[in-house]
Amino acid sequence: MRFVLDELYSDEESSLDLGVGSDSDSSNDPDYSNVADPHDLYSPKLRIPKKKDVPTKTRTAKEEEVTLLPEIARILEGKQFKSSVIAANTVPSVIHLSREEEQNTESLIDKRKDNKLAHSLAPDVNIEQMEAQFSKVMLGKLDSLETLNRKRIEEVRAEKKRIEEEQKRKLEEEKRRKELEDKRLKEEEERAKKEQEKQEKERLAALEAEKKREQEEKAKKQAQAQEKDKAQKAVTDFDSISKTFWKYKAKIKSIKEEIVIPVKNADKELRNILSKHKRKINPKFGQLTNTFSQLQSIQNELSHLIDETKGQQLAYLWILNFIAKAIVHQAETEVRAKPESSVPLARLALYIMVRYPEFKELLLARFVKKCPFVIGFTCDIGTEEGRGNMGWKRDSSGKWEEPTSYNERIGAMVTLFSVITRLELPQEFIQTSNHPLPISHSWHLVARIANTPLKLIQDTHFVVLGSWWDAAAKEFLQAYGVQAAKLLQLVGDNLTSAVADRKYVGAARLRILLESWQENKLESFPEMVP
């Protein structure tokens, strides 16, 4: 730290102002002003730089006067300087003197110079002692200021350290706060996740409970319906069954009169189109296998051929009737030899029934004409008309076919019909269509045979029941539960026992199927593969 005394006591002034001698050079320096009395030879000769000619604010008389700094004033007082010191920032005033005043002033200055010369011859005033004392005071002051400066530096360092530590503490607190906040958020997220999982489990449980309740309600309604059916079975309305039979017999007649004959009399172009379609359709039924891919291919081809005829109602119905006849005929031949082949054929028939609603009545008419057992119809076969109504055929010589051949044909057609009733709808129709021949048709078939008067029961009835058992008994039990089990027990035990003396082969086989079921060996046809 430097004081303004460095300027007041410069090196080049010390030898002139503090010793005895002339001060004419210094007093005449235009850049400095004398501070002490120039005529006092015993006072130090102090000079300060004159104020440069720079723009400054003019001070008024009322403005506060500027004094020396306290430290400098105390130092000067300790040295017992007799001269007054002009304030460092006081602006000297310029005084204009008259001619007479200038002469008086010059006279006074000359007298002062003479006094200085006189004083220079006076005894020595021990200037070195004064300088030593002054240096000691200054060094003490400097030491004090240095100590104060070091103390201030230490305070600044301490403050800086405190600020850094405070910032570090705040950062650590912020870090801990953030970690705690992150932990809290994570825990909150975990709680929310667990709560959501809990709610989801509760929702699923509620849905499961609702589903179970609906299933129980459905099972209850089914049981009630089955009980109602059971009550009705004891008094089966055979007149109603007979009316249904004759309705389909009439349907066959109308098909011949309204579809077959008109096509024979149609123009050649239409006959040629239908003839080509017939030749394309016939081989498809023999190409069916136990694979869904092959079934899908045949379904698409048949649908394409049917759709081509939709523009002409007569051609459309003729094609559907032809397909219905072909499916029933395929059952009489192919299913008769290989019962499991009924599964792909039944799926094809179900697909066409759902896609083309007119096909159902045409197919049922063909079933009822050749196998009236599918609707539970039975009549006396002791007459020519009775045999004809029950689907017996004559050979080339005009004789009725053998009972064995008849039973095999009837059993094959019942197998196909029964498989259709227990199949589920194709996936593309589940949401939009109802099953045209649901499992309830199987219930009617079995129950009506069970209620048929014993005098009309033939071996063929047990062949029908055995064929149905192989094709649909497993799914029938799944659908009707306890009531289905009771019906199976009724036809497998009670009905066979009622005609035991007749020694029917079909009845004996049905009892074997009953025993296998009672031993948990109930089997069904193998399912199709992709």
| Domains of the chain, earliest start first | 5-51+65-125 (no CATH), 238-438 (1.25.40.510), 441-522 (no CATH)
As beta bridge partners, residue 34 has: 47
The type of residue at 486 is K
**CA 324, chain centre distance (Å):** 49
Q: Residue 211's pLDDT is what?
A: 87
Retrieve residue 422's tokens: 């227990």
pLDDT at 517: 95
- Asked if residue 5 lies in contact with residue 75, where contact means CB atoms within 8 angstroms, the answer is yes
Q: Which residue ranges in the chain fall short of pLDDT 50? A: 1-26, 42, 54-66, 79-94, 121-123, 233-234
- Global pTM exceeds 0.75: no
Cα gap 475→391, rounded to integer Å: 28
Quote the pLDDT of residue 317: 97
Supply the DSSP symbol for 429.
G
Distance between the two ends of the chain, CA-based, in angstroms?
103
User: What whole-number distance in Å separates Cα of residue 476 and Cα of residue 381?
Assistant: 30
Which residue carries 């081809």 as its tokens? 301
The tokens of 389 are what?
């109504």
Predicted local confidence at residue 24, as pLDDT = 46
Residue 212: per-residue pLDDT = 86
Amino acid at 410: I
pLDDT at position 223 is: 72
Containing 33, the helix (H) or strand (E) segment is: strand 32-34
Core vs surface per residue 156-195: b (16+ CB within 10 A) or e: eeeeeeeeeeeeeeeeeeeeeeeeeeeeeeeeeeeeeeee
Query: What local confidence, expressed as pLDDT, does residue 115 receive?
Result: 56
Q: How far apart are CA 25 and CA 28, in angstroms?
A: 5
Which residue type occupies 226? Q
pLDDT score, position 81: 45
Contact between 299 and 240 under an 8 Å Cβ cutoff? The reply is no
Q: Where are the alpha helices (DSSP H) in 331-458?
A: 336-337, 342-355, 359-370, 384-389, 403-422, 440-450
